[in-house]
Structure 1
Amino acid sequence: MEFKYTHEIVEGKWQKEWKKKGIYKADNKKGKKFYTLVELTYSSGDLHIGHWFAWSAPDVYARFKRMQGENVLFPVGGFDSFGLPAENAAIKRGVHPADWTERNIEVMRKQFATMGPSFDWDREVITSRPNYYKWTQWLFLKLYDAGLVYKDKVNSNWCPKCKTVLANEHVENGCCWRHPDTKVVQKKVEQWLVKITDYAERLIWKGPASAKGFSEAGWPKAHKEGQNNWIGKSEGVLVQFPISGFQFPIEVFTTRPDTLPGATFLVLSPEYAQSLIKLVPQNLEKRLSKYIEDSLNKSEQDRKREQKTKTGFDMGILATNPVTGEQIPVFVGDYVLSGVGTGAIMAVPGHDERDLAFAKEHGLAVKKIKPDKALWQKYPKSVTYRLRDWSVSRHRYWGAPVPIIYCSDCGTVPVPYEELPVKLPRDVDYNPTGKAPLATSKSFVATKCPKCGGKAERETQTMDTYVDSSWYFLRYIDPKNSKAPFDKKLVNDWMPIKVYFGGSEHVHGHTLYARFITKFLHDQGYLKSDEFALKRVNHGVVLGSDGAKMSKSRGNVVNPDIEVKKYGADTVRTYLCFMGPHENAAPWAREGVEGMHRFYQRLWRLFNQKPVGVDTGKMRNQAVQRVTKDIESMRFNTAIASVMEYANHLKANGSSKADLITLAKLIAPFAPHMAEEVWVNVLGQKFSIHQSQWPKFDANLAKEEHSVVIIQIDGKTRGQLIIDNLQLTKEEVIKKARNNEKVSKWLKDKKIKKVIFVPGKIVNFVTH
């Protein structure tokens, strides 16, 4: 047997064998189902090291659960293949977006295979193919039928370079997420919206468990808080401020009605102020219109970010404070947003720093008052949400066509379900002009009305990619179904997802929309659960070796293809899991990946040594216990450290065949190729190690006989104690710690008020 491990030969061999034998296919009929998933991959053209980082740990986890006897569904990295980036890239290269996308998918599929993932390759979904977007259109129509979809001309984020609407989450620092140098402007655009606001209350994370028993503990606290803040629930009252000489009052939502006596002015959003422009004195009308126009041209982010300057314009009209009867001035301010509350705020400068700054800037009255809690009972209670309706349509080509038809006689008519999919035509000029490219295709636009059979035209807008990715996890369960998006029984057998891996950047977008669509399909009777995932694990970021974010301009980008060719997939996978906690950012270190490569070479030599009859049962049980618990807790880096410790022990003290079998199983999730080679060709076991049982441990055998206990006084370490775990009680350990010669001198003449005892770890004497 050769003592140098040749990953170049081994890895390709086993990848072919696994695929040929279909050992990772999930069984729809077998019980004890376990669905785990990584977020849909964008078909960008090639896999970078970040993709490997995002997928390596989840693959480790899927393999681990499979060896524990679970019927694991871990689908292939499907492709989120519609969208602006693909369209822009295709235009730049002079190719059709469909051809560009399919080429990218082919490249990325091959790259995925080199990772040695335990994918079920039969469950691939590609969102830009008609057999998928037919059902995205079906979902749109279901929302439409439920009264949750409408078309409106609304003020929208508009990218002058992309020439399309951007969702709020795609505006970064006032610029387009794809063009950081392009300022986003506001533009009135006709678009399709979904009433996600109808689900605002249900989308709020309530606490440890929902009313239906769904535990929220599996989702990161920051993720839940981020979504709750985005939804922005506020409880307060509605107060009407009459306007002199006008029959309609200004309605204000406030969470502090008790401070109403201190309200000395009102500030309206530019949108609200537009409706009152005819009340303004003539000499102010022109300047006010200009202020409103300038404000509306700013993105919402810019308006919020400029809160420090607090720009405003006195509208020259007066409102009456309903509590004091005083007349107070009304301003328009760009920092007041129409979608928050009523779009009008009452300012109490005596009790709010931001209002005080505005008052000083404009020379307004400041009143100090005593809050009156009785005012809470005087006004109607109200609840508002910052969440806006979801804009789901775009004026670009590369997306699923919105399945709507316009008839001069029948009006707006949804495409009948049996006529889906409405396919994207190829005879389109998709260069961005600001108008929907589908309008350039006569063969697409001209159609017949499904109701009267007369001449009609198709909707020319396409759907945003967030619609595609809001339900894809359901299609993975039944990807070849041509009669429905999924089989209801099958989908409810697998759902909800047990563990959902992805990026923390998807707090406000994808995961919120996926939760909404799941709740909608639950209400429609398709899903039993109204949450799509029980647990969410967010991954960190791989930084360059210089500790900075990877970028071509910095020259710190790591090409995974080169690394795999040099060191092998097992080394790269394991190193990515070993760099640090999965949720943290960590730099790629050349010496680190080389160290991991050397470790596997040493491991190969260890496996090829002749076993000796030594008893390492205790160490073996401890290793299995640590690795098992660490993988379950997503502590992949410490799991690998425990494998290394066990391997080093065997190298130094000798190993039995039982040890080598256990060691092979422990490395199997991390280094699947080497583990398979060792299992079959060194240890002579039956193919495949990945279908073998995960080793069990005896908790009693795994117990440490001795522990090092740190002794502290008021949190400061003063000594340590080596104790016998099997014999000493808590009281005996505390007594020994107190009498320790290095500690007793620090306790002299001091009164111990409290003893903090952590078994096997710490004794802390608190004296003050």
Structure 2
Amino acid sequence: MKYDFAAIEQKWQKKWLEEKTFACHTGDTDKKKFYALVEFPYPSGQGLHVGHARPYTAMDVVARKRRMDGYNVLFPMGYDAFGLPTENYAIKNHIHPAKVTHDNILNFRKQLQMLGYSFDWDREVNTTDPSYYKWTQWIFLQLYKHGLAYKTTMPVNWCTSCKCVLANEEVVEGVCERCGAPVIRKEKSQWMLKITEYAQRLIDDLDDLDFIERVKIQQKNWIGRSTGAEVTFKATTGDDIVVYTTRPDTLFGATYMVLSPEHKFLDKWMPLLKNADEVKAYQKLAASKSDLERTELNKEKTGVCLDGVKGINPVNGKEIPIFISDYVLATYGTGAIMAVPAHDDRDWEFAKKFGCEIIEVVSGGEDVQKAAFTAKDETGILVNSDFLNGLTVKDAIPVITKWLEEKGIGHSKVNYKLRDWVFSRQRYWGEPIPMVYCEKCGWQPISEDQLPLLLPDVESYEPTDDGESPLSKMTDWVNTTCPCCGGPAKRETDTMPQWAGSSWYFLRYMDPHNDKTLASKEALDYWSPVDWYNGGMEHTTLHLLYSRFWHKFLYDIGVVPTKEPYQKRTSHGMILGEGGEKMSKSRGNVVNPNDVIEQYGADTMRTYIMFIGDFEKAAAWSDNGVKGCKRFLDRVWNLATEQEHTGDEYSQVNEVAVHRAIKKVSEDIEAMKFNTAIATLMALVNDFYANGASRGDMKALLLMLSPFAPHMCEELWEMAGYGGQVCLQSWPTYDAAKTVTATTQMAVQVGGKVRANIIVPTDSSDEEVVAAALANEKIARMAEGMQLVKSIVVKGRLVNLIFKPQA
């Protein structure tokens, strides 16, 4: 009987949808809950790609096994559908973003269902649906009311083509990651969220989570906690320049200062500077670079010395030069640093280039690498530092900090690299920010009963030349009344960033149709937290951090029952093209899942994508590998349909192999070692071909294979008459005692050559092995007239017998 994968897959996909096989129910108290989550996709016009298929298949395998383990499984899917790519596509092709989104979602849903994923489709969410973004807006209003949302003017990355603000991570080598146009720096009024208020908690609470270590490290590095001191340097103008340093013990070695090109004092000092034109030119150049470019450690150091203003070192009263340089950011620390070139690689390179004084203040300082070591282990000895001389770095830090506090020119300080979240976007396709501005009352939140504030339907969503949102041109929508005084007011025309909708979507899955609240208390109490969340490493420092921040805030105001959203976080490697290169249209090596499914079937696609290699590491696509997995499924089909299987128990000859396979596959799925789980099943199929297989053997095989190749296994399960659907059966259990072979074959050597093989119980003693060897008919003949002098038993492998003629 032919394996008609196309007909089989369509049959079972239709059945699962019609019967709502994978629907779950809140508070199904007979079962333990398990919430499995994958990052929902951006529904682009290109459709689903193999990069989506790897993590989605992996978590589907886990979810299917957990259902068979008896859990009430929530495994949902939705679409992160607001954002710039859709808007850009809409502008280019003159199609409204809403229609683009609608059509893309239809395609994505069809592709996801083609792969047989066990999503609960009744819980599907779409971030552009007003019934969804009503609650995104509601969360923003709570943030505002609790002082965590504010508006300020700040330097931002501005794409000259998209005409919108970009996050630092969206700027690559000075150009927009999306469109490739130049990015400049400009001042803009922006809504901000105070994620920095949660910085320490975002670090501390990682300790209680089952996140893979590289995710924890990346989160901590992004937040960037450091301890040090804020120190006030005087300028010769009389102004106070505050710097933050992690090494106040090196103050006597501070020989120059560096300000960011945007520092607030520069405009004030410009009339005093003899090289004002040079300073202004440098400021313009710095404005064209992203923060990531400016802080690149390996780039050449540039800067301009201010001719007309100097700084004064507070510990010794020495005047020192002040530079501006783009590696100092206005948004980090105070926008000003003290430079100690003897003990910092970057400062040393800068000092050498610009001829600044270098003073050793930690013994061995001219050797920058040695200085770095002594700073790390805090055993370096202070020199050239007045009252600090002779102290170790560790002892000098509290002494100098106390001295600064007594003098009123400094204090201890904990600092973070993490900046507040820029929450405004000057574009159309995003959630409207539910705020209005009144000349009399200032910024005011709209009433919650007016939510959702609908995104108006417009004919033109082109970006404006002045950098304002397209909504700013819609005067009928913009002009409104103040909710405070009732006077004339204007709506905020910026929209939220794409990160907004993805910062809480996992909560909406718990209760997606609730129109009274973002999710009911019952649903939140039952499903929280997400038990297992898998996603890309590229989202570790933004989406993961942002969503943890929002969740902690919602916990603080009593909306959610847990302080963390996700208990476990894993990550996956990329799928590369054949030959190991990144997939791209320009290389012509992009694999379309539709093509693979059409040629080989969804079960082959699923099995291969799990067999391709270590889940956490990048793996190269191989067409031969796909064909190999298709041959494996063909062998399973033929084994089930062309051979006779009798007996509902495990056959004696396969019993050990079956129990071992159950143990191995069970452990490997939980450890995300999917490739070795499939290899185990391949070996089991080989055993069944060699030994034959009972109905019990085949039943165990189908149960274990079903999470990987669900359509074929359902069909074979039905054909065999086992009853019900395989995905709703109990996962097979193993007996540890039966994973050990009861007997073993051993070679018998006489005169250094193998003369026979014997079968003995695995737990036989050496004496019993020797007795069994001597009882062997062939060995017994050889032993006639001989005396056994010595025997050597190599456990489980061989027995060596040494004879001599009888006297």
If the length of structure 2 is used for normalisation, what is the TM-score? 0.84
Q: Is residue 655 of structure 2 the alignment partner of residue 664 of structure 1?
A: no
Map 1:108-147; keep pairs closer than 5 Å. 108-147=108-147
Q: Is residue 739 of structure 2 the alignment partner of residue 702 of structure 1?
A: yes
One-letter identity of the residue aligned with 2:344: D
State the SS of the aligned residue for 1:593: helix
Q: Quick one: structure 1 residues 590 and 297, their matched pair in 2 at CA, closer, same or farther if it must change by over 3 Å?
A: closer
Map 1:523-672; keep pairs closer than 5 Å. 523-608=556-641, 609-612=643-646, 614-615=651-652, 616-672=654-710
Q: Is residue 56 of structure 2 the alignment partner of residue 55 of structure 1?
A: yes
State the SS of the aligned residue for 1:462: coil
2:444 to 390, 395, 413: 413
- Of stretches 497-506 and 319-328 in structure 1, the one that deviates more from structure 2 is 319-328
2:385 alignment counterpart: none
CA distance in 1, matches of 2:716, 2:519: 40
1:401 alignment counterpart: 432
CA distance in 2, matches of 1:705, 1:319: 84
Contact 2:233 2:241 in 1 (8 A): yes
CA distance in 2, matches of 1:279, 1:585: 53
State the SS of the aligned residue for 1:324: coil
1:436 alignment counterpart: 469
Q: Quick one: structure 1 residues 158 and 704, their matched pair in 2 at CA, closer, same or farther if it must change by over 3 Å?
A: farther
Identity of aligned residues (%): 46
CA distance in 2, matches of 1:423, 1:108: 25
One-letter identity of the residue aligned with 2:260: S
CA distance in 2, matches of 1:473, 1:606: 42
CA distance in 1, matches of 2:741, 2:316: 74
One-letter identity of the residue aligned with 1:244: T
Q: Is residue 388 of structure 2 the alignment partner of residue 351 of structure 1?
A: no
Contact 2:297 2:346 in 1 (8 A): no
Contact 1:429 1:440 in 2 (8 A): no
CA distance in 2, matches of 1:678, 1:625: 23
| Bigger CA radius of gyration | 2
CA distance in 2, matches of 1:307, 1:345: 19
Map 1:221-620; keep pairs closer than 5 Å. 221-246=213-238, 248-272=239-263, 274-275=265-266, 277-278=268-269, 281-305=272-296, 308-316=299-307, 317-370=309-362, 371=382, 372=388, 373=396, 374-379=399-404, 380-433=411-464, 434-608=467-641, 609-612=643-646, 614-615=651-652, 616-620=654-658
Pairwise CA distance, 1:315: 1.2
1:711 alignment counterpart: none
Contact 1:73 1:120 in 2 (8 A): yes
Deviations 1:133-187 (A, max 9, x none): 11111111011111100111210011111100011222223321212x3232101
One-letter identity of the residue aligned with 1:62: A
CA distance in 2, matches of 1:301, 1:728: 69
Pairwise CA distance, 1:36: 0.5
Contact 1:199 1:516 in 2 (8 A): yes
CA distance in 2, matches of 1:394, 1:134: 18
2:722 alignment counterpart: 685
CA distance in 2, matches of 1:37, 1:419: 32
Deviations 1:92-111 (A, max 9, x none): 11110001110111111111
Pairwise CA distance, 1:313: 1.4
Pairwise CA distance, 1:390: 0.5
Deviations 1:192-223 (A, max 9, x none): 1101111111111566x3xxxxx33x212111
One-letter identity of the residue aligned with 2:345: E
Q: Quick one: structure 1 residues 642 and 320, their matched pair in 2 at CA, closer, same or farther if it must change by over 3 Å?
A: same
Pairwise CA distance, 1:225: 1.2
CA distance in 2, matches of 1:725, 1:182: 71
1:184 alignment counterpart: 183
RMSD, aligned CA: 2.2
One-letter identity of the residue aligned with 1:268: L
Contact 1:43 1:101 in 2 (8 A): yes
Corresponding residue pairs, total: 704
Map 1:200-211; keep pairs closer than 5 Å. 200-205=199-204, 209=207
Deviations 1:562-591 (A, max 9, x none): 110111100100100000011111111111
Q: Quick one: structure 1 residues 593 and 279, their matched pair in 2 at CA, closer, same or farther if it must change by over 3 Å?
A: closer
Contact 1:428 1:438 in 2 (8 A): no
Pairwise CA distance, 1:307: 5.6
CA distance in 1, matches of 2:166, 2:48: 26
State the SS of the aligned residue for 2:263: helix
Pairwise CA distance, 1:432: 1.6
CA distance in 1, matches of 2:191, 2:634: 58
Pairwise CA distance, 1:519: 0.5
CA distance in 2, matches of 1:634, 1:409: 59
CA distance in 2, matches of 1:255, 1:474: 40
Structure 1, unaligned runs of 5 or more: 210-214, 709-722, 730-758, 761-768
State the SS of the aligned residue for 1:150: strand
State the SS of the aligned residue for 2:275: helix
State the SS of the aligned residue for 1:47: coil
State the SS of the aligned residue for 2:565: coil
Structure 2, unaligned runs of 5 or more: 363-381, 383-387, 389-395, 405-410, 746-759, 767-794, 797-807
State the SS of the aligned residue for 1:319: strand
2:799 alignment counterpart: none
Deviations 1:56-91 (A, max 9, x none): 11111100111000100001x311111000011111
State the SS of the aligned residue for 2:73: strand
One-letter identity of the residue aligned with 2:437: Y
Q: Quick one: structure 1 residues 164 and 112, their matched pair in 2 at CA, closer, same or farther if it must change by over 3 Å?
A: same
Pairwise CA distance, 1:471: 0.2
CA distance in 2, matches of 1:724, 1:355: 73
Q: Quick one: structure 1 residues 590 and 338, their matched pair in 2 at CA, closer, same or farther if it must change by over 3 Å?
A: same
Pairwise CA distance, 1:487: 0.6
One-letter identity of the residue aligned with 2:12: W
Q: Quick one: structure 1 residues 264 and 115, their matched pair in 2 at CA, closer, same or farther if it must change by over 3 Å?
A: same
Contact 2:524 2:561 in 1 (8 A): no
CA distance in 1, matches of 2:682, 2:17: 30
State the SS of the aligned residue for 2:341: coil
Contact 1:242 1:320 in 2 (8 A): yes
Pairwise CA distance, 1:422: 0.7
CA distance in 2, matches of 1:34, 1:526: 21
Contact 1:307 1:335 in 2 (8 A): no
CA distance in 2, matches of 1:362, 1:23: 71
CA distance in 1, matches of 2:175, 2:339: 31
Pairwise CA distance, 1:728: 9.5
Deviations 1:374-431 (A, max 9, x none): 3243232101111111111111000010101123333322110000011111134211
CA distance in 1, matches of 2:763, 2:299: 63
One-letter identity of the residue aligned with 2:330: S
CA distance in 2, matches of 1:567, 1:353: 56
Pairwise CA distance, 1:707: 11
CA distance in 2, matches of 1:152, 1:99: 34
Q: Quick one: structure 1 residues 564 and 279, their matched pair in 2 at CA, closer, same or farther if it must change by over 3 Å?
A: closer
Contact 1:546 1:556 in 2 (8 A): no
CA distance in 2, matches of 1:725, 1:270: 78
One-letter identity of the residue aligned with 2:252: P
CA distance in 2, matches of 1:174, 1:579: 36
1:737 alignment counterpart: none
Pairwise CA distance, 1:339: 2.5
